[in-house]
Chains A and B, each alone.
Chain A
Amino acid sequence: MAETLTDERRAPQTGRAARRRRLLRDNVEGWGFVAPATILILGLAIFPAAWAFLLSLQKWNGFSPTQKFVGVDNYAKLLSDSELLDAVGHSLLYVVLFVPSSVLLGLFLAVALNRRLRFIGLYRTAIFVPFVVSAATTGVLTNYLFDPQFGIVNNVLRSIGVPQQGWLTDPAQAMIVIAIMSLWGSVAFTTVIYLAALQDISAELIEAATIDGANRWQTFWNIVWPELTPVTVFVTLWQFIEALQLFDLVYTTTRGGPLGATETVVYYLWDAAFHKLQFGYGSAVAYALFALTLLITIGIVIYSRRTKNEAF
C-alpha cells in the first residue's frame, strides 16, 4: 500500500491517469469474477442474519401489518420458558449420547481400517455408504427397524429372549435410538478425518518407538494419540455444533415426542416459528443458540491456541 502511494506521487500526471484507468479495470474485472457468487451468498446469509436479529427484538406473527418492538423482552422470556429449558436438556442429552461415541467410534474405526487386510474395501464401503443416506430416509428407516411390533431390532431381541422394547415410543429410549441412527449415518465423517490424520503421522516416528521397545498399545497412547490431539479437538467441536442443531432426524421420526422427550432446541424453534407463528421469539431462540455455540467455539479456539495443540 505504502509503495503504491509513493509510486503514484512520483509518476507524472498522464501516468497517474493511466494508472487510475488500470486500477478501475482491475476492480471491474475482479468484481466481475466474484460478484455473482458473493451477492448470492451475502444476500442469503448476512442479510437474513441481520434481519433475524431485528426480528428477535419484535413481537410479530409474520403476517399482521403491526410489528411491535419489544426490545430484549424475547431474550428475557427465554430464561423463564420451561418448555425451552426442557428442549435444551434434550439437546444436551443428545450431545452426551452422540458426540463422545461419534469421536471414539470414528477413531477406533479409523485405526481398524488403516491397514491392508483382505476385504478392507468391503468393510470401508459398508461403513461409509450410510453417509450418503438422507435424514429423511434415515428417519423412515429408523421407524421401520425400531418398530416395537414388526421391527427387526425387537425381532432379534425376541429371538434371544429379551422382552419387547418401546424404542421410539418410549420417552426413556427415543433419544438413544435417534443417537444410534445418527451415528450410523455420520460416523463415516469422523472416521475419514481420523484416517487422513493417521496417515499424516510419519512412519519413522512409530518405527523409532518400536525400536525403543514400545509395544503397539504403548505406541498408540504415547505417540499416535498425542499427535491426533488437534484433530480430536476439531472433530469434537464440529460434532458438538452439529449435535446442538439436531432437527431433521427428529422431524422424520418422533416429531419431538413421545411426551416431548425428543424435542430439541432447533425443533422447538421450528415449531415456535412455523406452527405458532412466533417469528420474533423464534428468532431470539435462534440467536441465543448461535451466541452459545459461538462462545463455546471461541473459548475452545483460544484454549487450544494457548495450549499450542495446533487445532486452529
Chain B
Amino acid sequence: MNTKLQPIFDTHKGKDGALLPILHDIQHALGYVPEEAVPLIAKQLNLSRAEVHGVITYYHHFRQTPPGKHVVQLCCAEACQANGSEALAAHAAKRLQGADVTLEPVYCLGLCSIGPAVLIGEDELHAHVTPQKFDALMNGLGVKK
C-alpha cells in the first residue's frame, strides 16, 4: 500500500488542506479508499485516523469498498424527477440485479434541461435516458441481463 500511496503523497507535499486531493487521487488510482490507507494518510498529514475516517465517510463521493466493474450514476434530483427519473431508477435497479455494476443516485449532473441524465464511469454522460436507452447503454457495456 505504501508504495502505491507514496507518489500521491509526493504530488501533494506542502499543499494546504491536502486531504481531499489525496483521497481523490487514491480513489482515482484504486477505485476506492482502502481501510489500510487510512493510517498512512493520517501519518502523512499529521492527522488522527479518526479525522481521516471522518472525512472519507462524510463525503458521498468517497467509497470504502471496491466498486463493481462499472459505476453508473443516475441523477435523482428534481429536474430529472420532472422527466421521469424515478421510473428509470426502478428500471435500472431491476436491470442491474446481480450484475457487477455499482448503481448510485447522484444529485444533479447539471444536465437539467435534458434529463433523465446518467453518468457512466468518471466522465461519460448521457441525456434523455429512457428505460430502452438505458438497456442499450448497458448492453453496449456488455452488462449481462
Bind each other: no
* B contact residues vs A (CB 8 Å cutoff): none
* A contact residues vs B (CB 8 Å cutoff): none
